[in-house]
Amino acid sequence: MGSAKYTELGAFLRSRRGRIRPADVGLPAGPRRRVPGLRRDEVAQLAGASVDYYNELERGAGSQPSEQMIAALARALRLTADERDYLYHLAGRPVPVPGGAASHVHPGMLDLLQRMPSTPAQVITDLHVTLVQNPLAVALLGDHSGFRGTRASFLHRWFTEPEARQLYPEADHATQSRAFVADLRAAAARRDAKDTEAASMIRALLHASPEFAALWADHDVAFRREDRKRIRHPVLGLLEVNCLNLFSEDGRQRLLWFTPALGTDSADLLDLLAVLGTQDVVDPAP
């Protein structure tokens, strides 16, 4: 990289790394630490980067980081929205528009997610774009981190890609479709009148999906605050869970977590998720 901005990028990463305690991000402190904050290898681990690559970034060298890597570093370092935007500026990348897969995750929601290691949990946008998942959510629902563009929204994939519906039993599809449409209408109404993201998604779905168009014409409106769902897992079979939601103050983000439904064997099945690994989903487009 080599420019003054990249030198400042490295210094900024070092400064943010130094202010975070390992316990803040769910890492053990260890008996002997020579730095007050996180080590470089710990930041690399949290961001899903190689240690060598992260070392190069802090040195102000190497290649220009991608938008996805900047988003991952912002989450790993618990940056505020202003700090995240500054990091994009230093890296010479445009700040992503709200709602996309690289959207900034509210630090408070990240903290709560980190404190739920034994429960499948994830943070999504109001348009059902998955921003971050814990390992158990990946094991239960599949890894949604690789989807880009309109496909980043699970709601969009639900109405345009039959493979997305494999997550739920066919008998539940109609109920899920109606709930998705009512939730989208509520989310779109809550957004600013000048917002184009939700309106663009609605127009695209009206054109692409007769099912969506028919449900949209019913004018149902209701946020999905809690659900009882049946989820199909390729190994464990059918799990019945409660899906609970915590909304951010502006309603743009939601923390979802899944608990076993009472009166079922889903508690034992959820305990097996960490052993079995990830759910298979349709391959993300490049």
Rg (CA), the chain: 20
Domain range for residue 37? 1-91
Angle at 53 between CA 50 and CA 59, to 5 degrees: 140
Judge if 131 and 196 occupy the same domain. Answer: yes
Nearest to 134 by CA among 117, 109, 151, 159: 117
- Is residue 100, in this structure, part of any structural domain at all? no
| Residues 193-206: tens digit of each pLDDT | 778 889 999 999 99
| Structural domain contains residue 97 | no
Predicted local confidence at residue 100, as pLDDT: 58
* pTM to 2 decimal places: 0.71
Say yes or no: 162 and 198 in one domain: yes
Q: How far apart are CA 275 and CA 1, in angstroms?
A: 41
**Spacing of C-alpha 20 from chain mean position:** 22
> In this structure, what token pair is assigned to residue 223?
């946020």
Distance between CA atoms of residues 21 and 33, nearest Å: 11
Whether 45 and 73 map to the same domain: the answer is yes
For range 192-219, the mean pLDDT: 92
Whether 96 maps to a domain, the answer reads no
Which tokens is 279 given?
């759910």
Total domain count, the chain: 2
In 209-248, where does DSSP find H-type helix?
A: 210-216
Write the CB contacts of 218 (distance below 8 Å, at least 6 apart in sequence): 181
For the ranges 30-39, 87-96, 108-117, 126-135, the one whose mean pLDDT is highest: 126-135
CATH number at residue 15: 1.10.260.40
Parallel, antiparallel or unpaired: strands 253-260 and 226-233 = unpaired
Using alpha carbons, list the distances in angstroms from residue 24 to 66, 82, 194, 252, 253.
26, 20, 37, 24, 21
